[in-house]
Amino acid sequence: MSEITYRRLVPADLERIGEIDRTERIDTLYVQHGDRLERRFGDFSAPAWFTEGEGEHSVAYQRAECERHLAAGGIALGALANGQLVGIGIVRPHIRPGIAQFAFLYVSNGHRAQGIGQHLSEQLERLARERGDRTMVISATPSLNTVRFYLRRGFEPTAEPLPELYELEPEDVHLQKRL
């Protein structure tokens, strides 16, 4: 296992987002009904981001999303193993008074379940608290592993997600946490 180093990312670092291997075998998704979660079973596996094109599952789209968050005051942290970007997390403080958005989190396949996501999450929560936010919200990919990760971190499903986040990702699981 390689040593993981962490550092704040600047916009130029986002060119490296394609280094992250987002592939994952997913056989369970959650569907949210208010603050209740219902499981759905099937093959929802996530392939690698497309290196061509601009679609939602492309490297270009993911980079643009990260750039948009940083331009809006977001803070990005990266995890590197042997110089390769293997994790990224972004927090956007003050999307509303007292509320931060956990805007982005990916850890590469092969580097998951090693504490990288937990470390990034803890640091992003700390940054939000230091900036005066008292609540953090997230629109999470509805996969079993992703939702369980946030539930273990103290997030809870919210029956009243922020309308602007729900509009962007109505099929995501919307969670919040008191900081």
pLDDT, tens digit, for every residue of 8-22?
Answer: 999 999 999 999 999
Q: What phi and psi, each to the nearest 5 degrees, are found at residue 32?
A: -95, 135
**What is this structure's pTM?**
0.93
Helix H or strand E segment including 164 = helix 163-168
Mean pLDDT of 35-54: 90
Of 28-42, 47-61, 95-109, least confident by mean pLDDT is 47-61
Domain, as residue range, for 148: 4-178
pLDDT tops 90 at residue 88:
yes
CA-to-CA distance for 125 and 37, rounded, in angstroms?
A: 24
Task: Quote the strand ranges of the chain, DSSP E.
Answer: 4-9, 28-33, 36-41, 75-81, 84-96, 99-107, 135-140, 156-157, 173-178
Assigned token pair, 122:
């803890």
pLDDT, tens digit, for every residue of 114-133?
Answer: 999 999 999 999 999 999 99
Q: Where does the pLDDT of residue 158 fall: very low under 50, low under 70, confident under 90, or very high at 90 and above? A: very high
Residue 71 sits in a domain of what CATH number? 3.40.630.30
How high does pLDDT run on average in the chain?
94
Q: State residue 56's pLDDT score.
A: 83
State the total domains in the chain: 1
